[in-house]
A and B are shown apart, each in its own frame.
Chain A
Amino acid sequence: MIRIAAFTLMFVCSASMALAAGAPPMIKDIKTVSSAAARRMVDVCSTWAEGKNLALAMVVYDASGNMLEFHAMEGATESAIATAPLKAKTALRWRRATIDVNKTVASGENLAPLWIGDFPMAGGVPIMAGGQVAGAMGVSSADGDACAKAAIESVVGRAAIP
């Protein structure tokens, strides 16, 4: 009887240890854009836009959707100021550039972004890091997508653009 009990106890203990060793972690690290990088991306995009005589508004969010950096260039319209954050948030939520989300909406393939109040207009780009979304940049108005991608590539690297 004692031998059976001891055997059972050993089995349970070893099973528990095996489970603990292979158990998924309770806490994990996520990558997120830093405050300094956000500022640099906005500066790169501003310089890019100045070279093309564009007056844009631009914003960078962290992985959780918190605004890290915002800048409205002289002459940026109120609609640009209002929509740049919407584009960035949409890109973050859908993990893809809003220029691509826009295509799925415009073609009727997937209207869900509209149903849930997102803003699938070109100009929002997620910032990827090792397969994770580390943040997003939104730029309005004209050529916002190109400006955001130029900034992300310059500061974080080409691999950060999906």
Chain B
Amino acid sequence: MRARILVFAAACAAVAAQPLRAAEGALGEQKTITSTGARALVDSCLAYAQRNNQAVGIAVVDPYGNLIDYHTMSGTNVIAGESAILKAKTAVRWWRSTEELNARVLGEQNVAPVWIGDFPQRGAVPIVVGGVVVGGMGIGGGGGDDCAKAAIAAVLPGATTTVLGQ
């Protein structure tokens, strides 16, 4: 019994003596859209919507769903603004476009987004840089997610709206 206790104590001491190798995984990094980048995306979408005679609400969230920039054009209804935010948050939570989520929900392939209070309505996409979701962009009241995709292509060359393997 004493031997077992000694072995256990020795093992604990050995673990405690190991230095914390932070560089090997204690801390990670998350790429995220900046405040400036979010505003540029909103402005780019705003210009796209004006060119196409759309009146939309536009929202950009960071990878955690925090709202970073938002604009409602004159002439939009209440839901256009509110839903833009909900859509953007849903896209970053699922790492998918809400159009794709909508199809999965309607096809009963996966109804979970509805069960947990998400808003799987067409109009939002994740913003993906180097395979990592750095934010989400949602459009309410317009013609789907065209405005968001155009803005992302214009402001973040090389960024995509899909995560590989999803």
Q: Which residues of A contact B (CB under 8 A)?
A: 34-36, 38-39, 59, 64, 66-74, 76, 78, 81
The main secondary structure of chain A at its interface with chain B is mixed
Say whether, besides A72-B66, A72-B67, A72-B68, A35 and B35 are in contact (CB < 8 Å): no
Q: Which A residues are CB-close (under 8 A) to B64?
A: 78
Q: Which residues of B contact A (CB under 8 A)?
A: 34-36, 38-39, 59, 64, 66-74, 78, 81-82, 85
Question: Min CB distance, B147 to chain A, in Å?
Answer: 16
Question: Min CB distance, A137 to chain B, in Å?
Answer: 14
Question: Min CB distance, A148 to chain B, in Å?
Answer: 17
Q: Judging by beta carbons under 8 Å apart, are A67 and B70 in contact?
A: yes
Q: Which B residues are CB-close (under 8 A) to A78?
A: 64, 66
Q: What are 26 residue pairs bridging A and B, where the CB atoms are less than 8 Å apart in the complex? A: A35-B72, A35-B74, A36-B74, A38-B72, A59-B70, A64-B78, A66-B82, A67-B72, A67-B82, A69-B70, A69-B71, A70-B59, A70-B67, A70-B70, A71-B35, A71-B39, A71-B68, A71-B69, A72-B38, A72-B68, A72-B69, A73-B35, A74-B36, A78-B64, A78-B66, A81-B68
Interchain Cβ contacts within 8 Å, total number: 51
Q: Which A residues are CB-close (under 8 A) to B66?
A: 72, 78, 81
A70 to B38, CA, bound (A): 11
A71 to B35, CA, bound (A): 8
Q: Which A residues are CB-close (under 8 A) to B36?
A: 74
Q: Judging by beta carbons under 8 Å apart, are B71 and A39 in contact?
A: yes
Q: Which B residues are CB-close (under 8 A) to A69?
A: 70-72
Q: Judging by beta carbons under 8 Å apart, are B71 and A35 in contact?
A: yes
Q: Judging by beta carbons under 8 Å apart, are B69 and A68 in contact?
A: no
Q: Which A residues are CB-close (under 8 A) to B35?
A: 71-74, 76
Question: Min CB distance, B37 to chain A, in Å?
Answer: 10
Residue of B nearest to A78 (CB): B66
